[in-house]
A = this chain, B = another copy of it.
Amino acid sequence: MATPRKRARPPRADAARNRELILAAAEVEFTKRGLRAAVADITRRAGVAKGTFFRHFTTKDDLITAIVEPHIVNLASIGERLVGAADPGAALLEFLTEAAAQRQQRDISYLLRAGVAPPRVTELRDDLLATISRLVERARTSGALRKDVTATDVFLLMCAPNHVVESLPDAGPDLWRRYLAIIFDGLRPEGAHHLPHPAPTMLEPTRLRR
């Protein structure tokens, strides 16, 4: 690593800058056209050449991962902080609100594609799941969450509010809050009815076992 003495120049500076330009442009394009936005459009918006794009990202999927990563990390750290909150039920709701607010801009659904995700994303997903697990545990214990839902349930439901709203092209930017509220009411103990199917387990990473 390090390339210690190339010369006096800071050769990394504008390389790093290009990377940021591409990421920013990509978010705009992905928001406009979805994940099928063309690489050419992204580079045009970023003001770099296509070759530069592939120097930084190898693959379009790579870019997507790179975009998603900081948001996952950020979300995990928010979750981490909320684990210590005074009101565990409010903490879980706030976490889900943050998650949905973020996804409203970036399509994180990619992250959930359990089987096909690249390793880095799987790793991030596991981390996030671990955090959710602790939030859920506390909420359940405190009586704010029905007893029969698991961290995986919450993880899977996390993006549902956004998806519901995506069907509507002219939806206001905050409509997802309405559906998050409804779904969250469904997670509360009050008025909970029996669940007809056991919780899925296939996302549990080994590390969670411990």
Residues of A within 8 A of B (CB): 36, 109, 112-116, 149, 153, 156-157, 159-160, 163-165, 167-172, 174-175, 177-179, 181-200, 202-203
Copy total for this chain: 4
Instruction: Write the nearest CB–CB distance from A37 to chain B, whole angstroms.
Output: 14
Cβ contact of A177, chosen from B149, B184, B196, cutoff 8 A: B196
- The interface residues of chain B lying within 8 Å CB-to-CB of A192 are 185
* A interface majority secondary structure: loop
* CB <8 Å contact, B156 and A164: yes
Min C-beta distance of A52 to chain B, whole Å:
15
Q: Which residues of B contact A186 (CB under 8 A)?
A: 182-187
25 A-B pairs with C-beta separation under 8 A: A112-B167, A115-B169, A116-B169, A153-B178, A156-B167, A156-B168, A156-B179, A157-B164, A157-B179, A160-B179, A160-B183, A168-B200, A171-B202, A174-B196, A178-B196, A181-B195, A182-B183, A182-B186, A184-B186, A185-B191, A185-B192, A188-B191, A189-B191, A190-B190, A191-B191
